[in-house]
Structure 1
Amino acid sequence: MAKVLLVDDDPFFLRLSKEFLKPYPDIKVETAGSPCEAIPKLQAGGYDAVVSDYEMPGMNGITFLKKIREQSINVPFILFTGKNKEDVMFEAMENGASAYIQKGGDLKAQYSTLSRQIGEAAREKGGMN
């Protein structure tokens, strides 16, 4: 089973994401409402992947990614965002993101893609068979 930390400042989106990922029994979802809330959870360990929004108050997703890498937290990082900008995608990948997924459109297809990316990231880390 892959244990994933979903980080987003939108409580509705966190609930929606948990609901849409429920049909995937190999994924256990925990949430954090901000990068500042997520960092101590990640420091405690036990996560196979992080799924983060880009645009959040106080710290965007790229800065969050850099901050956890500076602390040698090497969990796979998936940027899941409504921001449709190539520069954001390239910056995420240059800083070690495992994947970049665009929010919006067909929710079932979007969460199917997300679950696949979580599975790949967790297998890469060794947390899922």
Structure 2
Amino acid sequence: MTDERERERRRRRPMSRIGDLIPAAAAHLGLADELRRARMVATFDALVAERAPAAHGACRAVRLDGSVLVVEADAPIVAQELRLRSMTLVAAFRTAPGGAEVTELRVTVRSRNPSR
């Protein structure tokens, strides 16, 4: 009878959201930085889709250098679009849940290997 009560008590624990459990599990496994980076990349991608749709799919967040978000664009025209909208993107990224305290957006154009 006691074992059954114990099992019943365990079942009645309040449910936890999986999103609340993942950061602790990632930290325990040593993956907290990777999780933070994945959230940053996903957040930037969503913001570009919303605020600079012409550039969506042709750019990606590469890294965070202090307070500078470094972004790679596939073509010069995409880089120009991102630079034109940089103030809006920085402000949105700063306030987004998966974002960070950035003050500047640095856009680089992906280098293409010349065919030989």
Greater helix share, structure number: 2
Structure ID, larger Rg: 2
TM-score (norm 1): 0.25
Higher relative contact order (CA 8 A, sep 6+): 1
TM-score (norm 2): 0.27
